[in-house]
Structures are given as structure tokens and as C-alpha cells.
Amino acid sequence: MISKNEKVCNFVTRRQAKALPLILSERTVGEGCQAAGISRKCFYNWMKEEAFRNEYRDRQRGLVDLALVTLKGNAMIAAEKLSAMVATEGGPLLRRVCRDVIDLNLKIREFDEIEAGLEALEKRITEEA
């Protein structure tokens, strides 16, 4: 039988693997630790382990990526609603929300371009070294 602290796939323990989605599904680390049934001290001790830290950050990035995909999907809806509102009166809150969604998508595009530039720069530096 595999113990709860035995390494799973040479990365994180079973206990850590079970705790990760619970920690990430809450608004704060403290709430996540409570949901996972661990102390915050335990979580921060785990974060000192490279394997756990990498897995936590990978999964966290995955959640952010999913949120960004959802936001990008709503940009078209927001643009259509905003266009329809041009001819009507009222709806200032909806108009502001639609503008916010579009603005956020523009920022996402900027970040994507910056990230691509940084990756190209890192690659060039690595090749030169």
C-alpha cells in the first residue's frame, strides 16, 4: 500500500496532490488550506519544496489561462452589446461593464506581446551563452 506521503510520479505526495485543487479553488491561501484540511504553516513548508512549488504555480497558471480564455470569449459579446447600445439611451452600467471587458482584452493582448518578446529575448540570450 502507498502511504499518503509517498511521492506520486516523483513530483508531489498524494496528500499534496489531493490538497492542490482544494487550495487553488478558494479565494485565499488560508481558505484553501482550511478546505484542504492543512495548516498554513504546512502549505508554506510545502512551498519550500521545488516539486510542490512548481506544481502549484503550473496549476495556478492554468487557472489564470482558463479565466483569460473565458474573458476573451466574452469580449465579442461585450463588443456586440456595446455596439447595439450606441443607438439606445440608458444602460450606463452595462456600457461600462462592456468597455471594461474590451479594455481587459486589450491589456491581455499587450501582455501576450510582451511575453512573446521576453521569450524571444531569453532564447537569444540562451543561444549566445
Q: Where are the domains of the chain?
A: 1-48, 62-129
Q: Are 29 and 12 in contact (CB under 8 A)?
A: no
Average pLDDT of adjacent 10-residue blocks, the chain of 129 residues: 48 90 92 95 94 91 84 80 67 76 85 86 85
33, HSE (Cβ side, Cα atoms, 13 Å): 13
Mention every residue, 6+ apart, whose C-beta is less than 8 A from residue 45: none
Place of cell 479553488: 25
Report the pLDDT value the prediction gives residue 8, as an integer from 0 to 100.
Answer: 47
Distance between CA atoms of 97 and 78, rounded to whole angstroms? 8
Q: Report the run of H or E that residue 69 belongs to, with start and end.
A: helix 50-85
Report the pLDDT value the prediction gives residue 121, as an integer from 0 to 100.
Answer: 87
Distance between CA atoms of 57 and 59, rounded to whole angstroms? 5
Report the pLDDT value the prediction gives residue 1, as an integer from 0 to 100.
Answer: 43
Burial (Cβ within 10 Å: 0-12, 13-18, ≥19) of residue 32: buried
Backbone angles phi, psi at 58, to 5 degrees: -60, -45
Tell if the pTM clears 0.75, that is, is over it: no
